[in-house]
Amino acid sequence: MSPPSGTLALVVMLALISGFADVITWVRFESFAGLQTGNMIFIGEAIFVQSLPGAFATISYKLAMIASHFFGVFLFCALAHVTRWPVRVGSLLLAALTAAAAVLDLLFESRWAACPVSASLGAMNFVSSPNTLLEGKVFMMTTLTTGNLQKCAKMLFYAVSDHGLNAEERAQTLYAAATILSTICGASLAGLALYASPFGTATTSPSWWLLFVAGAQCATLLYHDFLLKPKSESYPLEHGRMSPLVEPLAADAGSAQAQETCNTACLGCSEGDGERTAGNAAEDGLYPSPLRVTVDRGAAD
C-alpha cells in the first residue's frame, strides 16, 4: 500500500519546523529543542571549558532540556490513552507549549523558558516516529538527519549496484532526502529571519519567532491528522493492558493468515524470551524482511 500523495509535503513541513526551531533555540537559549544529541554533547564541552565546579549550572540546564523532551513524549503517550485522536488534540496543546515558552522568555528573559519548547518538539517529532502508537503515521524520524543521510547513502549504493530499488525503497529514499534538505532549509530560514531582525536586536527578540513556530506546528499536525487520520492503538485499553506492538511487515508478506501464523510461532519461544524476530520467521518461509515482531505474552496467556 503506497502512502498518500501528500505524505512528502508532511515530511517537508515537519523537518522545516525542526530545523527552524533548533536554530532559534540555540541562538537564544544556547540549547537545542529537538536535537537532544547536541545537548548531550555540550555537557562534555561545559566540563572542559568551564571546569567541573563551574559547569554545574550548564549541565543542569542541558539535563533539564533533555528531561523536558522526554516529558513531551511521555505526555503524548498519556494523551493517546485518553483520546482516540491524540494528534488532533495535541496540535493545540503542543502549539500552546511553544507559545508559552515565547511569552515566558519575553516577560522574564530566562533561558529556562526553552524547556516547554523542548517538550513540544519532542512530542511533535514522536508523532511521525516508528515508536509511536498510532495507526496512521509517516513511520520515520524527521529530525534524525544522520540516520536519513545513512539511508540515502545505502539506497544510492543499491541503485548503482545489481540490487536496484523497488517502489517502497524509492519512496523511503525520497522521504529521507527530503528530511535532510528540509532541515537545512529550515535552519537557513531561521538564520535569515534572525539576520533580518524584524523584532529588534534585544536579547529576547528571537523568541518572537517561536510564536510562528507554534502556528506552524498546529497547522502541520492538523494536516497530519487530515492526511493520515492517525488513531491511537492503545485507546481504549483492553483489560487495562496496552495493545501488542507489531512493527509493519514487508508489503509482499502482509496477509492476515501469515501474520497470525508468525504470531502463533512466537508463542513457542522460551518463557524468558517473549519475542521472536521475523528473521526466524523468514527461515520458516513466512517473511523475507528482518523486522522484529513482538508479542504481548500476558495478553496471549
Task: Supply the DSSP symbol for 250.
Answer: P
Could you give the CA distance from residue 26 to residue 189 in angstroms, rounded to a whole number?
14
Q: At what angle do helices 56-82 and 86-108 cross, to 10 degrees?
A: 150
Identify the pLDDT of residue 40: 95
Query: Could you tell me the three cell numbers for 270?
Result: 522460551
Distances (CA, A) of 291 to 205, 248, 266, 288: 47, 8, 13, 9
Whether 15 and 183 have beta carbons less than 8 Å apart is answered as yes
Domains of the chain: 7-228 (1.20.1250.20), 251-300 (no CATH)
Whether 234 and 80 have beta carbons less than 8 Å apart is answered as yes
Residue 276 parent element (H or E) = strand 275-277
Could you give the CA distance from residue 9 to residue 11 in angstroms, rounded to a whole number?
5
Residue 292 parent element (H or E) = strand 292-294
pLDDT in tens, the chain (301 residues): 567 889 999 999 999 999 999 999 999 999 999 999 999 999 999 988 887 777 899 999 999 999 999 999 999 999 999 998 999 999 999 999 999 999 999 999 999 999 999 999 999 999 999 888 788 878 888 887 888 999 999 999 999 997 889 988 899 999 999 999 999 999 999 999 999 999 999 999 999 999 999 999 999 999 999 999 888 876 654 434 444 433 443 444 444 444 544 444 444 444 444 444 444 444 344 334 433 434 444 444 4
Quote the pTM value: 0.78
